[in-house]
Amino acid sequence: MIVGIVVIVVALMLIVAIPMILPKQRLVLATTTSTQDSGLLDYIPPDFERKYNCIVDVIAVGSGQAMELGKNGDADVLLVHSPASEIKFVQDGYGTSRTLVCYNQFVIVGASNDPAGLSLANNATNAFTRIYENGTLGEVVFVSRGDNSGTHSKEKTIWAKAGLNVSTFSDEWYLSAGQGMGAVLDMTEQQVNEAQESNGYTLSDEATYYTRKETGIIPNLDIAFQGDPLLFNQYSVIPVNPDLWPHINYTLAQDFVEWITSGGIQGMIGDFTDAYGHKLFVANAGPGSTIPVDRQTSHAGGEILAKSEG
């Protein structure tokens, strides 16, 4: 009798213990450096890991590099901010859907004394034109991400709208860093500190800028221009297509999409601030935020803006 009871107790203990000793699933999240540098990825993924008993492996690179990882089957899900490239990624069959998550703004930051007079600009293209004019005179430098990231893509769009060809720019004032956002802001700060005659500017997402500013890493960089609708910065989540890569953890990727667009996590994203109370992202998932493949068009930027403001 006693032996029988002991056997039953041991069996029950094993049943309880088995889930605890099973290896956790892993989700590979390829994302932009701005979600990492802003601190967002230190803030929300632990909730997902607890709820789904998994480990989220974050690869923080430029959005272009993140999508290359997806194309090669080296990531399960993407969190990126380069709409035109995302649209092509989904249309080409590498992703199964694209869902809006949150947005913020790009800002043009530079030396506190604003040597190019960007505060007088009436739009982003005029601000970039002022940088170009002063750069060719040797009075300022511009530090570009130069890494095919979402920020780099936005920068190239603004130059093009200003009628300027980046390939003709002198590397004496136009510096292509090939680095993430935090590193580029640090380089721009260094330009201000070490070469007062060559005061620096760069384009940044506001979340990384505010996070870097509050920690005292970039004390001499201020926002020189902001507010143009052209500087709108949308983040979206895309599961990688398991038909191309059967090893993809598609079920967990889908769970991640549902989780990050759920009301609770959208609330966490909307409440995420820096130490001074700046809201770093505006959550905008909700009904209609998953954009079907047949609606992924080259004009999706306007669609995203309308969805976000609506």
The tens digit of pLDDT for each residue in 185-197 reads 999 999 887 655 5
Residue 93 shares a structural domain with residue 133: no
| 46 CB burial (10 A radius; 0-12, 13-18, 19+) | exposed
- 244 and 190, same structural domain? no
pLDDT for the residue 14: 47
Confidence band of 9 (pLDDT split at 50, 70, 90): very low
Domain boundary among 187, 209, 231: 231
Last residue of a domain, one of 231, 254, 284: 231
Pair 227, 246 in one domain: no
Number of domains in the chain: 2
Residue 45 domain-assigned (yes or no) = yes
Look at residue 301 in the predicted model and tell me its pLDDT. Answer: 42
**Domain span holding position 129:** 111-231
Residue 297: CATH number of its domain: 3.40.190.10
Q: Are residues 123 and 65 in the same domain?
A: no
Beta strands 25-32 and 54-61 are parallel
Q: Are residues 175 and 250 in the same domain?
A: no
For residue 72, the model assigns a pLDDT of 98
Per-residue pLDDT tens digits for 15-38:
544 445 668 899 999 999 999 999
On the 0-12 / 13-18 / 19+ scale of CB atoms within 10 A, 192 is buried
Please, what is the Cα angle at 147 between 222 and 202, to 5 degrees?
A: 15
DSSP structure class, residue 279: B
Write down which residue in 177, 201, 231 finishes a domain: 231
Q: Is pLDDT larger for residue 305 or for residue 184? A: 184
Query: Looking at residues 228-243, what average pLDDT do you find?
Result: 98
Q: Which residue has the tokens 């700060």?
A: 189
Q: Is 9 buried (19+), middle (13-18) or exposed (0-12) by CB count in 10 A?
A: exposed
Same domain? For 284 and 189 the reply is no
How would you write 79-143 as a 3-class SS string?
EECCHHHHHHHHHCCCECCEEEEEEEEEEEEEECCCCCCHHHCCCHHHHHHHHHHHHHCCCEEEE
pLDDT at res. 291: 64
Instruction: Please check whether residues 290 and 258 belong to one and the same domain.
Output: yes
Count CA atoms closer than 13 A to 298's CA, side-chain side: 0
Spatial contact of 79 and 224, defined as CB atoms under 8 Å apart: no
pLDDT at 283 over 70: yes
Residue 13 placed within a domain: no
Nearest partner of 299 among 150, 96, 84, 104, judged by Cα:
84
For residues 98 and 240, membership in a common domain is answered with yes
Mean pLDDT over each residue of the chain, to the nearest integer: 88
Q: Is residue 17 part of a domain?
A: no
Q: Would residue 14 count as lying in a domain? A: no
**CB-neighbour burial class of residue 227 (10 A; exposed 0-12, middle 13-18, buried 19+):** exposed
| 273 shares its domain with 295 | yes
Confidence of residue 286 (pLDDT cuts 50, 70, 90): confident
